Amino acid sequence: MNVDLSVVVPTYRGALSLPELLGRLAEALAPGALRYEVVVVNDASPDDTWAALEKLCAQHPELVAIDLLSNHGQARATLCGMAYARGSLVATMDDDLQHPPEELPALVDALEQHLDWDAVVGSWKRDEGVLRDLGSRVNEAVDRFAHGTPRGFRHSAFRVMRRPVVDALVAHETRTPVLWSMLGQSAARVRNVEVAHRPRPYGRSGFRFRDGMTTVLTSFFHASTLPLRAISAFGILCSLLSFLLGLVFAGRWLSGVQTPPGWASSFIAVVFFGGATLFGVGLIGEYVSLVMQEVRRPPRYTVRTVVDERDGEDESRTVSNQR
């Protein structure tokens, strides 16, 4: 059966929210003529999320449930769901209902109305607390600086993409995926669409300030060589400054001006440039570590079980070491 829309949902501790999510998706998408499926990827939740998914598969024939062997993180779990998705359009969204399923048709309609767009990303007014909002602004600034994202554009996990874009994302072989950066590299015509954003109705968010900082640093280091280029530029600037200072002191000596010795300036210079050197070495070490991960080519995700009853046939199976 051909599928018009695949909805990919990575989940972690989502046992409470998934039944409501699937019900609301059915209500939001049923009135239209779209043939859709929902691909939910359980990112090795330690609770009963997988047991809940197995029960939901019997109630929702459009559901494809994937259970990962270990926790790989949201980006890899999302890529896993994309690899199993069959739709000509593929949507991604969170499992906590902060992305309202009722807003999904608006994203789909935006793509249908603008045939030249490659993907649309949901955006909303940031009002998630001081720390979360600050982290979002810092991440947007870093994204503009490191990846050239247009000012005013906002990334989120609530998006709809055309099939060629999804195929391009899945084809990426990186073991440290940064989806919003990969999306920008894979498609030039990505636009924001305003959508609603709701408070989390079940449980508490596991997102912490440390997670936000990790996201920013991952975007900065894992998806860009800008820090290395900055260090190179800094080294060239220091060399030029040293050359100019050498000319100044040589001119003073030729003109007979004595330069009094000073231990303070020497000490400050040694500490400053020594620290800069150590920082550069550490930065190179970080990139060497990333290169080692890519060269070793560990699997991006490992699948324990797939429950797939599309086309009316039970295709439950065990798969491992996927991509």
Residue 321 forms part of a structural domain: no
Q: What is the pLDDT of residue 202?
A: 80
Residue 217 forms part of a structural domain: no
Q: Same domain, yes or no, for 261 and 304?
A: no
- Cα–Cα distance, 43 to 70 (Å, whole number): 7
Q: Same domain, yes or no, for 104 and 231?
A: no
Tell me: pLDDT of 20 over 80.
yes
Residue 215 forms part of a structural domain: no
Q: Same domain, yes or no, for 146 and 27?
A: yes
Average pLDDT over residues 20-47: 92
Instruction: Give phi and psi for 196, each to the nearest 5.
Output: -80, 160
Number of separate domains in the chain: 2
Q: Same domain, yes or no, for 204 and 243?
A: no
Q: Same domain, yes or no, for 183 and 279?
A: no
Q: What proportion of the chain, given as a percentage, has pLDDT over 90?
A: 44
Q: Same domain, yes or no, for 273 and 306?
A: no
Q: Same domain, yes or no, for 26 and 43?
A: yes
Q: What is the pLDDT of residue 317?
A: 43
Average pLDDT over residues 176-195: 89
Distances in Å between the Cα of 101 and the Cα atoms of 76, 105, 194, 211, 229 are: 22, 8, 14, 25, 42
Range of the domain at 267: 226-296
Q: Which of 69-73, 159-163, 199-203, 273-277 has the lowest mean pLDDT?
A: 273-277
Q: Same domain, yes or no, for 204 and 242?
A: no
Tell me: pLDDT of 22 over 70.
yes
Q: What is the mean pLDDT of the chain?
A: 80
Q: What is the pLDDT of residue 57?
A: 94
Q: Same domain, yes or no, for 50 and 106?
A: yes
Q: Same domain, yes or no, for 152 and 283?
A: no
Residue 214 forms part of a structural domain: no
Q: Which of 18-27, 48-57, 72-81, 126-135 has the lowest mean pLDDT?
A: 126-135
Q: Tell me which residue of 206, 264, 216, 270 sits closest to 238, measured CA to CA.
A: 270
Distances in Å between the Cα of 51 and the Cα atoms of 15, 56, 86, 201, 306 are: 8, 9, 24, 21, 13
Q: Tell me which residue of 230, 223, 207 sits closest to 143, measured CA to CA.
A: 223
Residue 221 forms part of a structural domain: no
What is the tens place of the pLDDT at every residue in 119-178? 999 999 876 666 666 666 666 666 666 666 777 788 899 999 999 999 999 998 887 788
Q: Band the pLDDT of 321: cuts 50, 70, 90.
A: very low
Are 286 and 224 in contact by the 8 Å Cβ rule? The answer is: no
Average pLDDT over residues 182-202: 90
Residue 156 forms part of a structural domain: yes
The CATH number given to whatever domain includes residue 163 is 3.90.550.10
Q: Same domain, yes or no, for 201 and 256?
A: no
Instruction: Write out the H or E segment, with its range, that includes residue 77.
Output: helix 74-84
Tell me: pLDDT of 212 over 80.
no
Q: What is the pLDDT of residue 313?
A: 45
Q: Same domain, yes or no, for 45 and 94?
A: yes
Task: Specify the pTM.
Answer: 0.75
